[in-house]
Amino acid sequence: MLIDRRALSLAALPAGFAVILAILLAVAPAAAKDTGLIFVSNEKSNNLIVIDPKTHKVIRDIKTSRRPRDMHFSVDRTKLYVACGDDDVIDIIDVTKLEVIGRIPTGPSPETFSIDERKRRIYVANEEGSSLSIIDMDQAITIHEVPTGAEPEGVYVSEDGKLLYVTSEVGDLIHMVDAEGGHVLQDVVVGTRPRRFAATPDRKELWVTAELSGEVYIIDREKFEVSGKIEFLPPGMRKSDVTPVGLVMTQDGKTAFVTLGHAAHVAVVDVPTRKVTSYILVGKRSWGITLSRDERTMYVANGFGDDVTVIDVRTRKATISIPVGRIPWGVIIDD
Amino acid sequence: MTDVFRSMWRHSKMSSLLSLPWARPCRAHGLLPPPLAGEGWGGGRHQWAADGCPLPVPPPQAGEGTLWQCLRAASGVLLVASLSSGAFAQTSPAPQPRVTIGYVDIAGDPRHEPIKAYERIVLKQREPPFAAAQVGIEEAQALSRVLKIDFALERITVKSADEVAPAVTKALQERNIHFFVVDAPAEAFRPLAAAVRGRDVLLFNATAPEDWLRRELCAREVVHTLPSLAMTMDGLTQHLVSRKWRDILVLQGPLPADAATTKAFENSVKKFGARIVANKGFKAGTDPRERELNNPLLLTAGTRDYDVIFIADDAFEFARQVPFQTVRPRPVVGAIDLEPVAWHWTWERNGGPQINVRFNRASGGRRMEGADWAAWIAVKMVVQATLRTRSAEFNKQREFILSDTGFDGYKGLAVSVRRWDQQLRQAVFLATPSAVIASAPIEGFLHRTNTLDSLGDDEPETPCKLNR
């Protein structure tokens, strides 16, 4: 997912810190790097399904706390963090052993989160708590709660770590939060039920999906105002089924892929012109979407199909679907 | 319950709301409220701001106070003082514009009396949907900051249905309240609509499903957020027809409400091509001379087979004894087992669990029901109108609400106001006690403009022609 990718590039900046971290971790068994394994969180079967990228076979079923949703790797990729909404925790999974090795308590019903490893902080949107928790990763405690609009969801950390962007699904708002002070600086009104973010690599725009109004809003980050919006309508679908949620952008910032939820398609958007160029058929209630590092393959979690669609990015075609757990929410790749 | 106890009970509910982890400490509203005005339990007025805190209420009219009210006022002042610490020290900030929504209900409304079995065991709670309106106000909290407009809810409790109209006009004239969630029976709407005709008022009918309010009364000042009987019965019938359960045995209770429900169901059956094999009246009891009326076995016997039994029983006493008591092994729908409802506590899609949890907390553990949804969406519509018009001007807000704009009702297709009768078009859930089996409109039932209009009175069918 885009946030992970950015987190990686962040880690590249403070190289010294990364080296220290690597030395510390060298004590542990050799880290599993770039295994290529695909992890799928399943909201209703309370597990992560691990898929082999070559054979597309399920190789592990990891039991987690209840209702696993958003997932992020640690910078060194030895750990996978999973927000588990119905147990109010983030599970920590050892990527080598493929088992849960710890838990971090959060606010009520964590859904999505972001990690800033330089500050050793996790920012979690608590869907039922109308707040954003700022968690100290080392102590595993919440050090601050930022009140937000009801049902906060997407969390995005600015590249310098100073600002956080949070959506409020009920408030139809994007909050800009001072990460240090822990308070809302500004709000901008977008469409109905804003969900998740992607940022253009030039750091000028923030794209946010508005699920109910069926749009993607583009926010000018400097002015912090809406500078445009994109609407979708795959052929043969009803407008009311168009419920965009997940989105990713290619590293060159030219193409964005948006999952359209109940409309069972992924929209392909040309970023510079903001035009939809094509639609790719996937399963129902498609939410989670992720690109492989080489950007050749894309994975989409179909909540109402209990499977993951694998897409060949070059041909823009779905190649295979893999049955996973019940109500798959997100996909993440260890590459 | 005496007035004082009722008042304290309500206050304790408020304070439990405030003690929730997500509730924020009250912001000082600048001054302590004067004693609350009111005419006993009826006529009591309380305001809550978007942050869930009590707001100052204008001083009482001369001669309104009684001993009871003084006591109640004292308890109110203590509560406010303890909640908004520092209120004494602060000077009032420049006041923001405030959008106040009135919530009008009737003390001792029999529709909200719980249905009980022996020993007062509660079968159905039937609580007023006030907590749902509070949830709507609570959700507006973050928007208050952005819009620089406050949202408040004022509960106006009157003693009888006759007092609803005067209370609403008084609140409009004296306190400039334009939006009201009306929690009153259908008969209260005739004088109410007459009293506010042509005035700057929008009333949200959140609890009366009667079709005549949408057809004959047909008032421009009323928006019906609760689905009409015609809509719920259409939803149910669509489901039966989609299952190919077309032959239906109807059991009808003795109440006028049962007759209205049956009539609406008969219309739906005709509309969607099902058949009623027989319509039998029942009467709860054990009198052997009336066994044809009170024995489920005899009522469900007969030579003509049927696929399903529809039962209309507002009192619920008889209906709860019918499933598994029938001659033929047939499902029962309507008043029990599979009910068409505006909302259900188990709805899992479209953000349903989140609003169910918010409501559950705000109401002290209650499960959200249809009327709750209708009150909540009414407040949400006013808040959205304020947000999208960026205005606290009534005329702009009304125009927005009555336009074709869709609102997020947490049940799939966006809900919006039908221009011909100002009924909120919306999905109807078909729910068992522990799951939503289907959401109508059922797939396959189409409409030329919006499939939601396959439920209830469509434009060509209704005698009500508003906003033409």
The answer to the question of residue B136 being in a domain is: yes
Nearest one of A310, A312, A283, A273 to A295, comparing CA atoms:
A312
CB distance B143–A149 less than 8 Å? yes
Beta-carbon contacts of residue B102 (< 8 Å; ≥ 6 apart): B153, B154, B155, B156, B168, B171, B177, B179, B180, B181
B-chain CB neighbours of A192 within 8 Å are 406, 408, 414
CB-neighbour burial class of residue B106 (10 A; exposed 0-12, middle 13-18, buried 19+): buried
The two three-digit tokens of residue B423, written as one number = 């009924």
CB-CB contact of A218 with A244 (8 Å): no
Task: Look at strands A225-231 and A247-249 and give their pairing.
Answer: unpaired
| Claim to verify: residue B248 and residue B192 sit in the same structural domain | no
| Claim to verify: residue B4 and residue B138 sit in the same structural domain | no
Strand partners, A163: A178
Task: Look at strands A255-259 and A247-249 and give their pairing.
Answer: antiparallel
CATH number, domain with residue B401: 3.40.50.2300
| Claim to verify: residue B19 and residue B145 sit in the same structural domain | no
pLDDT exceeds cutoff 80 at B299: yes
Confidence of residue A130 (pLDDT cuts 50, 70, 90): confident
> pTM higher than 0.90 for the full model?
no
Q: Distance of alpha carbon A128 from its chain centroid, rounded?
A: 19
pLDDT in tens, A305-333: 999 999 999 999 999 999 999 999 999 99
Confidence of residue A294 (pLDDT cuts 50, 70, 90): very high
Chain A CA closest to residue B407 = A192
- Laid out side by side, the sheet with A297-302 consists of A286-291, A297-302, A307-312, A317-323
Confidence of residue B46 (pLDDT cuts 50, 70, 90): low
Residue finishing a domain among B63, B95, B127? B95
Q: Does A168 touch chain B (CB under 8 A)?
A: yes
pLDDT exceeds cutoff 90 at A263: yes
Confidence of residue B55 (pLDDT cuts 50, 70, 90): low
Q: How many beta-carbon contacts under 8 Å exist across A and B?
A: 60
pLDDT in tens, B208-230: 999 999 999 999 999 999 999 99
Q: What is the pLDDT of residue A128?
A: 83
Over chain B, what HEC string results?
CCHHHHHHHHHHHHHHHHCCCCCCCCCCCCCCCCCCCCCCCCCCEEEEECCCCECCCCCCCCCCCCHHHHHHHHHHHHHHHHHCCCCCCCCCCCCCCEEEEEEEEECCCHHHCCEECHHHCEEECCCCCHHHHHHHHHHCHHHHHHHCCEEEEEEEEECCHHHHHHHHHHHHHHHCCCEEEEECCHHHHHHHHHHHCCCCCEEEECCCCCHHHHHHHCCCCEEECCCCHHHHHHHHHHHHHHCCCCEEEEEECCCHHHHHHHHHHHHHHHHHCCEEEEEEECCCCCCHHHHHHHCHHHHCCCCCCCCEEEEECCCCCCHHHCCCCCCCCCCEEECCCCEEECCCCCCCCCCHHHHHHHHHHHCCCCCCCHHHHHHHHHHHHHHHHHHHHCCCCHHHHHHHHHCCCCECCCCCCCEEECCCCCEEECCEEEEECCEEEEEECCCCCCCCCCHHHHCCCCCCCCCCCCCC
| Claim to verify: residue B24 and residue B106 sit in the same structural domain | no
The two three-digit tokens of residue B122, written as one number = 């509660």
Q: Does A193 touch chain B (CB under 8 A)?
A: yes
pLDDT in tens, B398-430: 999 999 889 999 998 889 999 999 999 999 999
The answer to the question of residue B422 being in a domain is: yes
| Claim to verify: residue B167 and residue B101 sit in the same structural domain | yes
ipTM for the assembly: 0.77
Confidence of residue A27 (pLDDT cuts 50, 70, 90): very low
Distance between CA atoms of B291 and A222, rounded to whole angstroms? Answer: 79
Percent of residues, chain A, with pLDDT higher than 90: 84
| Claim to verify: residue B117 and residue B76 sit in the same structural domain | no
Confidence of residue A4 (pLDDT cuts 50, 70, 90): very low
Other CB atoms within a 10 A radius of the CB of residue B104 amount to 24
Q: Using CB atoms, which residue from B24, B146, B414 is nearest to A212? A: B414
A-chain CB neighbours of B354 within 8 Å are 109, 127-128, 150-151, 169
CB distance B22–A131 less than 8 Å? yes
| Claim to verify: residue B222 and residue B350 sit in the same structural domain | yes
> What's the mean pLDDT in A156-175?
95
Q: Using CB atoms, which residue from A108, A173, A212 is nearest to B142? A: A173
CB distance A128–B141 less than 8 Å? no
Residue finishing a domain among B66, B95, B124? B95
Q: Using CB atoms, which residue from B145, B357, B408 is nearest to A128? A: B357
Mean pLDDT taken over chain B? 85
DSSP string, A1-46: -HHHHHHHHHHHSSHHHHHHHHHHHHTSSPP------EEEEETTTT
| Claim to verify: residue B245 and residue B312 sit in the same structural domain | yes
Q: What is the pLDDT of residue B117?
A: 86
The answer to the question of residue B448 being in a domain is: no
Q: What is the pLDDT of residue A33?
A: 66
* Residue B308: domain span: 230-339
Among A93-102, A266-275, B109-118, B371-380, the range scoring the smallest mean pLDDT is B109-118
The answer to the question of residue B264 being in a domain is: yes
Q: Residues 404-443, chain B: which have Cβ within 8 Å of A?
A: 406, 408, 412-414
CB-CB contact of B157 with B52 (8 Å): no
B-chain CB neighbours of A127 within 8 Å are 354
Distance between CA atoms of B50 and B98, rounded to whole angstroms? Answer: 10
| Claim to verify: residue B122 and residue B222 sit in the same structural domain | yes
Q: What is the pLDDT of residue B54?
A: 55
| Claim to verify: residue B117 and residue B219 sit in the same structural domain | yes
The amino acid that residue B218 corresponds to is C
Beta-carbon contacts of residue B145 (< 8 Å; ≥ 6 apart): A184, A187
The answer to the question of residue B443 being in a domain is: no
The answer to the question of residue B455 being in a domain is: no
| Claim to verify: residue B133 and residue B256 sit in the same structural domain | no
The answer to the question of residue B459 being in a domain is: no
Cα angle A259, A261, A262; round to 5 = 145
| Claim to verify: residue B113 and residue B221 sit in the same structural domain | yes
- Number of compact structural domains in chain B: 3
CB distance B22–A128 less than 8 Å? yes
> What's the mean pLDDT in A238-247?
91
pLDDT in tens, B114-132: 999 888 899 999 999 999 9
CB distance B354–A149 less than 8 Å? no
Q: What is the pLDDT of residue B49?
A: 63
Chain A CA closest to residue B388 = A189
Residue finishing a domain among B95, B126, B157? B95
CB distance A170–B139 less than 8 Å? yes
The answer to the question of residue B252 being in a domain is: yes
- Cis omega before residue B441 (within 30°)? yes
CB distance B143–A148 less than 8 Å? no
